[in-house]
Structure 1
Amino acid sequence: MIRRHPVRTALSALTTVAVACGMVALGPAAPAAAYFGEAEISPVESDISEKPWVGVEVSSGASTAHLAIDGDDRTAWVADDPSATQWLTLDLGGAYDNVRKAEVVFPDAGAVYQYVIESSADGDSWNLVADHSANQRASRGSVDLFTQPGTRFVRVTFTGSSPGATVGISRLGVYNYLRDDLVLGADASWVDNDVVEGREYWVSPAERDPGAGPHLLDVLQDRGFEYIRLRIFNEPRSESSGEILPIAYQGPERSLEVARWIKAERDLGLGIDLHYADSWADPAKQPKPRAWAELEFEDLTRAVYDYTYDYLARLIEQGTTPDKVAVGNEVTNGFLYGSEAAVIGTTDPPYFRDRPEIYQSQPGGGLLWEYWGSEDPEEQRLYEEAWDRFTTLSAAGISAVRDVSADHGEEIGVETHITISPSRPDRALEFWDRYLAGVNAKGADPDYLAHSYYPEWHGSPEQYELNLNAVAAAHPGYGIEIAETSYPASGGGGAPMPNSTYPRTVQGQADALQHVFRIANDLPDNQGKGVLAWEPARWQSLFTPVPGTTDVWEPNASIDVFALSRASHVLEDTVYAATPAGEPVALPESVEVLTTADGSTERIPVAWDPVPRDAAGRLTVHGSTEHGRVTALIDVVETHPRLDCDRTVTGWHSGPLTVDEGVTCLDGATVSGPVSVGAGASLQVDGAVIAGPVRADGAAVAVICDSRVSGPVTSSGTSSVSLGNPLLGCAPNTIDGPVTVTGTHWWNVIAGNTISGPLTCGDNARPPVNNGSANTVGGPRSAQCRDL
């Protein structure tokens, strides 16, 4: 595993969060104005529910379940039965340790929803995230903060809803934040050249105090980089001529010194990337080093082992034990090419092509993808033999890392690093299946499966995320890393790179890099372990030369993504509310904030912008807190939801009225006899006069508003009861007789009524409430109705 380093703690003390415009800015240690360009950088946040690997299960209404996670508030999962306990469960596809926020949005404005939100690691044992089961306020949703490492499932269970509400969910978001153990760093091997060439890097070169520098590593560490990878060429040579370079940049000897700069002097994480070549090795070229070019295969295997063991031993002995070693670089097509190059058809580097009698005289570790899936027995044999040679050489390198670690009592991770072609992602899956089976059979195994990501070669971020997730899902026992990535801040007239939507600007550079951070962080089961920028001072650079100077460079503002992408606090950043038209809007004076370091929550004050007057529909009001911006989404409603009537009775109705199915509505009616509601049926009364008693037995819904009943009102086993509820526009009633409500298991409100007889309530799932509108009762109040 990659070791964590104290830079994170030290750095956090130097950063501040600016709430203006929601922007996160660096504090006094490095004024953002000293950077080149501008970038607004906020902590990484992603809604896992939007990921294609997330599943959803529901208690009913399965045909619409997917609409709860389609990202569109205008669509919704709708349960089949609005008066029974219903639930929706998200399966995030794996565990997440830094999910901190859930947001649920319901279909109806002006309705009241009662519910609980829970999380689980296994789908069997559940932890309470939020309890809204006593809610009586209309709103379309809520944002709830929580800390439950290992969360895989998130469930919303309805416990009640106001009559007529659509029981369902328009959107359920579950938000993930960048983990502390996701390592952010860079391959900065050219720092070797920088020192010799006299390049200087300063955080704020134009300031009286220029900040960290002039060493590139000091600036990187100051700006939040935790880990530096070094590529190692065996005997550095010119790519074109094959001649030994006069200065052996990135060679073993020079890299020993660079390792001391990284590990011994700055205590940064150290990665070693063994190219096993004298010049660049990548998917297009994997030349053997000259010293090994004519070795027979058995001797070549021994050379890989000995070289790896000996070099790592030297690093360990000088006190710079690497945290991780890559056995080969971007070995998608194998490495240490030999005679099989004739089939592969490789022509680079020129010295490899021009001297085949040396470099191609013996078999090597190149893969023969041309024969993948061939039905020709001879081609299939050659394909299998190439895999065997490649995995034999790889296993030798892995075994050397394991042996030198054990012999010196150290722990060093092992990485294998490839690329994924956007046009042939199945090749990456075939690679890992073959590779892991091959090295495992030879007693070796890496810890990390690493991949490069450059959009111009590896597809859109969305496409790459799908491909990386497929690898992670196929091989859950391994850490997944993005070992190389970058994005330019200039060029192309600012137009995005191929397969990207981010402009080539400083802001675009910041946004593109944060997207890659999210991809790694959002892999299920916390499989993503790190992201490294490739050569941030030289390639698609995070630095810009300072005008009027020679070899002096300053960071782009985008560099702060390495320091500011982790959230120290998570805010209840959206408030949902509903208000009747013409009434003042009441917004909360405070919202909740969660401190990620310890999972604690507290309420902090909000300063709201003025609320627009005489508005209709949905209002958006912004507010600010010490930890960022808050948005209130307020639905101004003309009427609250009511039941849909199957039968409407108006005017005079003589004699008894029986409701034995569907929904019957009494709208201003006068009924001269008793009213009875049977099992599963519903009654909605508004502005009526009823001469006889009203009785509901096992009914679905019973709603009586603004009416007069001359006789007792009795409800037994009804799912949802509303006897007055001014809060939702159901005016109080006058009831000349006793009221008895028992066995209600869903919604239960008795509010503002004048009751001449006793009020008796018992055996209800929850005691009825009056929502602040006390009842006037002529007789005794008993049991659950005592406080109404």
Structure 2
Amino acid sequence: MRKVFIILIGTCMALSASAQQRYLGGDLSMLPSYEEAGTVYRDSAGKKVDPLTFLRQQGWNAVRVRLFVDPQYAKKEHQGEGVCQDLDYVIRLSRHVKKADLALMLDFHYSDTWADPAKQFMPKRWKDAAPETLSDSVYAYTRHCLQQMIAAGCTPDMIQVGNEITNGMMWEVGRVNAAGSEGFDVLSRLLRSGVRACRELCPKAKLIIHTEKAGDWAVTKNFYEQMRSCQVDYDIIGLSYYPMWHERLPVLHNTLDSLAVLFPDKEVMIVETAAYYSHERDIWSKGPDQYSEFYPITTEGQRLFTKELMSELRKHKHVTGVFWWFPEENESGRQVTNYWLNRGLFDNHTGRAKPALYELKW
């Protein structure tokens, strides 16, 4: 009897792990802008497709959407790069996501423009606010946005409270020392205020704290230990992982294994990833082979990266999601952005699905 009992327990544990919900998707925040411009999306054979329907057919079950506070105040160059997602825009897109029966991840930037490790600008509406009142502002703003989304029938299933916040957010008030403990008391107050609004309005949503140092274990470890010390409530560790900035896949492997040991109660998601297939019309590139240390800057290089990334992620049972960043880039029609990134999953000349898209599967 004892042997049978042990086998049954082991079987139940295996079933629980294998049955865990895994999400596959992308940040499609620019899709409405492309569709409004009449952009045509095609499969690899050249057949015209509806993007959301097509992506569902490829196994996608989730979409990530970014939200800026007042993007009309963003720099013109940032607007030309795709900064336009105010609450009305996000609600329109999120309705389509829900109608397509896809899970919705809402990404609060708490900025009027790009929020990333190099820039976390204070929104204009709060630039003169006293530091001690900012937590109340974050709470009220987060609550208002979620109320509007719920009323519109697009309640988020997952919510990011901040975007790539290893160095904090809403600078200078919310800046932190990523290698130490300075500033985390203030950042944690801001995060807890956002989290409180999310828990009150969307109690079923899973909450994500997102950083971008997957290639630096010491910094990643410190950040999430600070979150634990400051009693920030969340469900998912969200990571950005780009091969050109965050080291080889074996480094990611070690980070994921270490997170599983130190934070066993947290799921992990790669909430941003992508790889170049070209540097054409890329004003940030210093040459056609920049960032080719690990994968060639070609269509095949992008495909190979995607295949190897997914193979790696399948090894980690606590990794429950992967989201490609800006997969909808498609400049084959009328111009939408000022420059090309060439990291999307559709060809900028033909609008056809890239081979990497077909490798992006659990």
- Which amino acid in 1 is paired with 2:327? P
Deviations 1:543-578 (A, max 9, x none): 11455xxxxx1111331223xx45xxxxxxxxxxxx
Q: CA deviation at 1:510?
A: 2.6
Are 1:449 and 2:237 an aligned pair? yes
Provide the C-alpha distance between the structure 2 equivalents of 1:236 and 1:427, rounded to a whole number of angstroms. Answer: 30
> Closer, same or farther in 2 for the Cα pair 1:498/1:464, shift >3 Å?
farther
Q: TM-score, normalised by structure 2?
A: 0.84
- Which amino acid in 1 is paired with 2:220? A
Provide the C-alpha distance between the structure 2 equivalents of 1:248 and 1:126, rounded to a whole number of angstroms. Answer: 54
> Closer, same or farther in 2 for the Cα pair 1:318/1:522, shift >3 Å?
same
Residue 537 of structure 1 corresponds to which residue in structure 2?
Answer: 328
> Closer, same or farther in 2 for the Cα pair 1:491/1:519, shift >3 Å?
same
Q: CA deviation at 1:426?
A: 0.7
- Which amino acid in 2 is paired with 1:222? Q
Provide the C-alpha distance between the structure 2 equivalents of 1:315 and 1:336, rounded to a whole number of angstroms. Answer: 23
CA contact (8 A) 2:94 2:104 kept: yes
Deviations 1:235-265 (A, max 9, x none): 00465469999x97211111110111111x2
CA contact (8 A) 2:214 2:239 kept: no
CA contact (8 A) 1:182 1:521 kept: no
Deviations 1:530-554 (A, max 9, x none): 000111132412111455xxxxx11
Greater mean alpha carbon deviation, residues 486-495 or residues 451-460: 486-495
Residue 186 of structure 2 corresponds to which residue in structure 1?
Answer: 389
Q: 1:231 aligns with which of 59, 63, 66?
A: 66
CA contact (8 A) 1:521 1:529 kept: no
Query: Which structure dedicates a bigger proportion of its chain to strand?
Result: 1
Are 1:558 and 2:331 an aligned pair? no
Residue 166 of structure 2 corresponds to which residue in structure 1?
Answer: 332
Q: 2:139 aligns with which of 301, 305, 323?
A: 305
Residue 44 of structure 1 corresponds to which residue in structure 2?
Answer: none
Q: CA deviation at 1:205?
A: 6.8
For the residue of structure 2 that corresponds to 1:516, the secondary structure is helix
For the residue of structure 2 that corresponds to 1:426, the secondary structure is helix
Provide the C-alpha distance between the structure 2 equivalents of 1:546 and 1:241, rounded to a whole number of angstroms. Answer: 25
> Closer, same or farther in 2 for the Cα pair 1:244/1:303, shift >3 Å?
farther
Residue 299 of structure 2 corresponds to which residue in structure 1?
Answer: 506
Residue 314 of structure 2 corresponds to which residue in structure 1?
Answer: 521
Are 1:125 and 2:9 an aligned pair? no
Q: How does 1:354-365 map to 2 (within 5 A)?
A: 364-365=173-174
Deviations 1:414-472 (A, max 9, x none): 100001163x421111110011221x2xxx51010010000111100111110222122
Provide the C-alpha distance between the structure 2 equivalents of 1:149 and 1:517, rounded to a whole number of angstroms. Answer: 26
Residue 199 of structure 1 corresponds to which residue in structure 2?
Answer: 39
Residue 405 of structure 1 corresponds to which residue in structure 2?
Answer: 202
> Closer, same or farther in 2 for the Cα pair 1:497/1:459, shift >3 Å?
same
Residue 221 of structure 2 corresponds to which residue in structure 1?
Answer: 429
Q: How does 1:261-272 map to 2 (within 5 A)?
A: 261-263=96-98, 265-272=99-106
For the residue of structure 2 that corresponds to 1:219, the secondary structure is helix
CA contact (8 A) 2:214 2:241 kept: no
Provide the C-alpha distance between the structure 2 equivalents of 1:312 and 1:473, rounded to a whole number of angstroms. Answer: 34
Query: Which structure dedicates a bigger proportion of its chain to helix?
Result: 2
Provide the C-alpha distance between the structure 1 equivalents of 2:77 and 2:298, rounded to a whole number of angstroms. Answer: 38
Deviations 1:570-595 (A, max 9, x none): xxxxxxxxxxxxxxxxxxxxxxxxxx
Q: Between the two proteins, what is the percent identity of the paired residues? A: 26
> Closer, same or farther in 2 for the Cα pair 1:477/1:199, shift >3 Å?
same
- Which amino acid in 2 is paired with 1:517? M
For the residue of structure 1 that corresponds to 2:35, the secondary structure is helix
Q: How does 1:420-499 map to 2 (within 5 A)?
A: 420=213, 422=215, 424-438=216-230, 440=231, 444-490=232-278, 497-499=291-293
CA contact (8 A) 2:166 2:178 kept: no
Q: How does 1:7-46 map to 2 (within 5 A)?
A: none
Q: CA deviation at 1:503?
A: 3.3
> Closer, same or farther in 2 for the Cα pair 1:494/1:279, shift >3 Å?
closer
CA contact (8 A) 2:83 2:114 kept: no
CA contact (8 A) 1:204 1:211 kept: no
Provide the C-alpha distance between the structure 1 equivalents of 2:65 and 2:126, rounded to a whole number of angstroms. Answer: 22
Q: 2:23 aligns with which of 180, 183, 186?
A: 183
CA contact (8 A) 1:489 1:542 kept: no
Are 1:150 and 2:150 an aligned pair? no
Q: 2:153 aligns with which of 319, 337, 355?
A: 319
CA contact (8 A) 2:69 2:109 kept: yes
CA contact (8 A) 2:110 2:123 kept: yes
CA contact (8 A) 1:275 1:281 kept: yes
Deviations 1:600-647 (A, max 9, x none): xxxxxxxxxxxxxxxxxxxxxxxxxxxxxxxxxxxxxxxxxxxxxxxx
Provide the C-alpha distance between the structure 2 equivalents of 1:321 and 1:261, rounded to a whole number of angstroms. Answer: 12
Deviations 1:749-776 (A, max 9, x none): xxxxxxxxxxxxxxxxxxxxxxxxxxxx
CA contact (8 A) 1:238 1:244 kept: no
Residue 159 of structure 1 corresponds to which residue in structure 2?
Answer: none
Q: CA deviation at 1:195?
A: 2.2
Greater RCO, 1 or 2 (C-alpha within 8 Å, sep 6+): 2
Provide the C-alpha distance between the structure 2 equivalents of 1:197 and 1:227, rounded to a whole number of angstroms. Answer: 24
- Which amino acid in 2 is paired with 1:392? R
> Closer, same or farther in 2 for the Cα pair 1:243/1:419, shift >3 Å?
closer
Q: TM-score, normalised by structure 1?
A: 0.40
> Closer, same or farther in 2 for the Cα pair 1:473/1:286, shift >3 Å?
same
- Return the index of the structure with the highest Cα Rg: 1
Tell me how many residue pairs correspond in the alignment: 338
For the residue of structure 1 that corresponds to 2:222, the secondary structure is helix
For the residue of structure 2 that corresponds to 1:184, the secondary structure is strand
Are 1:212 and 2:10 an aligned pair? no
> Closer, same or farther in 2 for the Cα pair 1:497/1:241, shift >3 Å?
closer
Q: Report the RMSD for the aligned CA atoms in angstroms.
A: 3.0
> Closer, same or farther in 2 for the Cα pair 1:514/1:286, shift >3 Å?
same
Unmatched tracts of structure 1, length 5 or more = 1-119, 128-146, 153-176, 339-363, 373-382, 548-552, 567-788
- Which amino acid in 1 is paired with 2:24? L
Provide the C-alpha distance between the structure 1 equivalents of 2:300 and 2:33, rounded to a whole number of angstroms. Answer: 28
CA contact (8 A) 2:272 2:325 kept: yes
CA contact (8 A) 1:472 1:527 kept: yes
CA contact (8 A) 1:544 1:556 kept: yes
Provide the C-alpha distance between the structure 2 equivalents of 1:243 and 1:509, rounded to a whole number of angstroms. Answer: 26
Provide the C-alpha distance between the structure 2 equivalents of 1:498 and 1:507, rounded to a whole number of angstroms. Answer: 12
Unmatched tracts of structure 2, length 5 or more = 281-286, 330-340
